[in-house]
Structure 1
């Protein structure tokens, strides 16, 4: 999965799975798998349309371990209206799960992503499910199959889409949680080169554009003696 169109096809297919909100949030924020599995509802501000990424969760020797983000820093990531709606639905679904399971519910923390029993989702479950859903999608849509992809590729698609759209590198770096924009420049150098290749044409178009009755911007530049 390499393009925004392929991502759109995947999210559309996976929409009916209970863990679809995780894939949506990963794609629309660029957050790492462990960061989203660490996310609590107390880190989510739907009115302000943002989440606070403040830690990461993983499994080591069969035990769940929580720590800081990769950079060791917290960050705020803004959300679009559609993603806010997805999270509202996720919270509603969890409330329904609590009523259904009752006193047998497991897990005491207020995680955003849990199993039906209330336990935190295992990271490997999401990575495996991602591959399974791609295979199932390809069986349904054999005419336009999705390429093999890793869950982490959702983060890359988020970054490349923003960079190709002209979002400044330092903004993308802050969104991804890179400690320094130079990391973003290094990791996505090929994307930045691709965007730079069209910079000359973009500049030329902006100067050659004329409204009726308006002289060329170039003619308005005073000549130096």
Structure 2
């Protein structure tokens, strides 16, 4: 009796699909870079239907020259490799953000799934779970945070398609994402509110920081990185004064890290004579602190420092902003005057842009001061301000025409012929 009869009928290949033991496999022909057509076997599918589905996808990919070999790498393993390889080109703070997202929200839930078996529905389920209980203590995670998780995965899996060629399509592109939260209206100070707050900060050694933040729209980290070598106080009247913003500061794992500005571009921002005078006073105060500290003084050229000269951490002005607002509002209540709406430190940047745009300063000028790579960014972020201006454009035009002296008619001027 033949060996084939002893072991039963040999499995048959049907339209590129065959059963091998407890799993199914498929085979297709793939043309390599030399133009030679070779069979490619891919196995390990639990059902015939799964093997056929993968076969059909592989045939389409092969026809496009996009076929990828079967891989056992998991989602977690790939994302670890991606962090080391593709994320090295980003800033340390950005990489730390990616790592936190992956290790906190992704790897514990879908890290063991084989990457090539990951489906859009798996990601949709992940997002729903995060929305329901992905936060601290099992609380819901905000839609904004879930959207960031999606953005990181979309970027990582795009690299898996383009660079690593381990996926044929990006599953994140077809995953259903949670609805975006409607933006909450930001309470904004008026120019008088800002002047009132800065009058309170004048009693603090970091008054210069808040003045410069409000009068330049610079980011928190940019001012933490500012050196005196990049501060030009102008002539004796403060004319021609400016600051040059070359880098930024962030905190990664409790360590103060300096790097390039957002977008990697330096910029020069003009400052007014009053702000130049405030910075000159700040420098004098710093010199007095240096003399008092003596040998304990920490060297360096940072504009904003602690009493012994150490450069400030970004969290310092953030906490101080809240403290000074409470101080201001307590005094206001005692004096019987309205307290200020509570805003964030970063809102000083928005206030700077808003007041300039309302005053009619061109968008491209405001964009340059803020460090936006394209004025279109400024237009998008501050569209509500520009809409308010546009609503009065018709009335403004009418005033311009009505205020123009009427020229004599042609009859009054006589025949020009």
1:216 CA drift (Å): 5.6
Verify: 1:66 aligned to 2:258, yes or no: yes
Change (3 A) 1:216 1:186: farther
1:211-222 pair list within 5 angstroms: 214-215=405-406
The answer for the alignment partner of 2:392 in structure 1 is: 198
**Is 1:207–1:216's contact at 8 Å kept on the other side of the alignment?**
no
What do residues 72-118 of structure 1 show as CA deviations (whole Å, max 9, x unaligned)?
10100001000010111111111111111001112x22000001100
- Measured in 2, the distance between the counterparts of 1:52 and 1:62 equals 27
Q: Would the alpha carbon gap of residues 200 and 69 (structure 1) be closer, same or farther in structure 2, given more than 3 Å must change?
A: same
Measured at CA, do residues 216 and 22 of structure 1 come closer, stay the same or move farther in structure 2, by a change above 3 Å?
Answer: farther
Structure 2: unaligned runs, 5 residues or longer: 1-187, 235-239, 411-417
Separation (CA, whole Å) in 2 of partners of 1:24 and 1:216: 49
TM-score for both structures, normalised by structure 1: 0.92
| Structure 1 stretch displaced more, 141-150 or 33-42 | 141-150
In the TM superposition, 1:33-182 aligns within 5 A as 33-47=220-234, 48-106=240-298, 108-142=299-333, 143-182=337-376
Choose which of 201, 204, 209 in structure 2 pairs with 1:17: 204
Contact 1:208 1:216 (8 Å CA) reproduced: no
Post-superposition Cα deviations, 1:175-222, rounded to whole Å, max 9, x if no partner, equal 000010000000000001001111111111111115xxx4269x79xx
- Partner-residue secondary structure (3-state), 1:126: helix
Deviations 1:110-154 (A, max 9, x none): 000001100111211110110111111111102311111100000
Which structure ranks higher in relative contact order (CA pairs < 8 Å, sequence separation ≥ 6)? 1
Aligned mates of 1:77, 1:50 — CA distance in 2: 6
| TM-score, scaled to structure 2 | 0.50
The 8 Å contact of residues 26 and 32 in structure 1, kept in 2 or not, is answered as yes
Name the Cα RMSD after superposition: 1.5
Q: Look up the SS of the partner of 1:16 in the other structure.
A: coil
- Partners of 1:130 and 1:55 lie apart in 2 by 22
In 2, the alpha carbon distance for the partners of 1:125 and 1:216 equals 63
Paired residue total: 215
Task: Find the aligned partners of 1:26 and 1:70 in 2 and give their Cα distance.
Answer: 16
Deviation, 1:2, is 2.3
User: Does residue 185 of structure 1 match 2:376?
Assistant: no
- Larger radius of gyration between Structure 1 and Structure 2: 2
Other-structure match for 1:223: none
Residues 35 and 69, structure 1, Cα contact 8 Å, conserved in 2: yes
Corresponding residue number in structure 1 for 2:97: none
